[in-house]
């Protein structure tokens, strides 16, 4: 079962860390500011669509938003071309190799 209080805390912390007001986040999510306040107080949970948008805005997985698990970051690359994707993957692979040798 999901802990609404922990979800509310995660949303508030992510918003503050991103330097957003509740009003700014509400505009990004397409909801009223009062709805963001409800999310952060644990009185309400977002719809599937809003949850997906939160995941994109905060660059975290929906699993992390809901359960605090799987804190892997999501990198949106759908707007990159093949060449840019190759560069990104090259950097990621180099960092993984470096981590394994340390």
Same domain, 57 and 81: no
pLDDT tens per residue across all 102 residues of the chain? 567 899 999 999 999 999 999 999 999 999 999 999 999 999 999 999 999 999 999 988 888 898 887 555 667 777 889 999 999 889 988 998 888 887
| Domain count along the chain | 2
Show the domain range for 85: 76-102
One domain for residues 43 and 86: no
Residue 8 shares a structural domain with residue 37: yes
Instruction: State the CATH number of the domain containing residue 19.
Output: 1.10.260.40
* DSSP string of 27-94, one letter each residue: HHHTS-HHHHHHHHHTS----HHHHHHHHHHHTB-HHHHHHS---PBP---TT--HHHHHHHHHHHHH
- Whether residues 9 and 35 fall in one domain: yes
Burial 42-76 (b: 16+ CB within 10 A, else e): bebebeeebbebbbebbebbbebbbeeeeeeeeee
Q: pTM for this one? A: 0.67
Does 62 share its domain with 84? Answer: no
């Amino acid at each position: 079962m999901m802990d609404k209080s922990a979800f509310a805390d995660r949303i508030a912390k992510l918003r503050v860390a991103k330097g957003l007001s509740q009003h700014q986040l509400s505009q990004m999510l397409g909801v009223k500011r009062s709805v963001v306040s409800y999310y952060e107080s644990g009185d309400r949970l977002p719809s599937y669509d809003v949850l997906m948008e939160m995941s994109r805005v905060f660059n975290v997985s929906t699993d992390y938003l809901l359960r605090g698990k799987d804190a892997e970051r999501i990198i949106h690359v759908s707007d990159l071309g093949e060449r840019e994707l190759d560069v990104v993957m090259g950097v990621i692979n180099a960092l993984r190799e470096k981590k394994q040798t340390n």
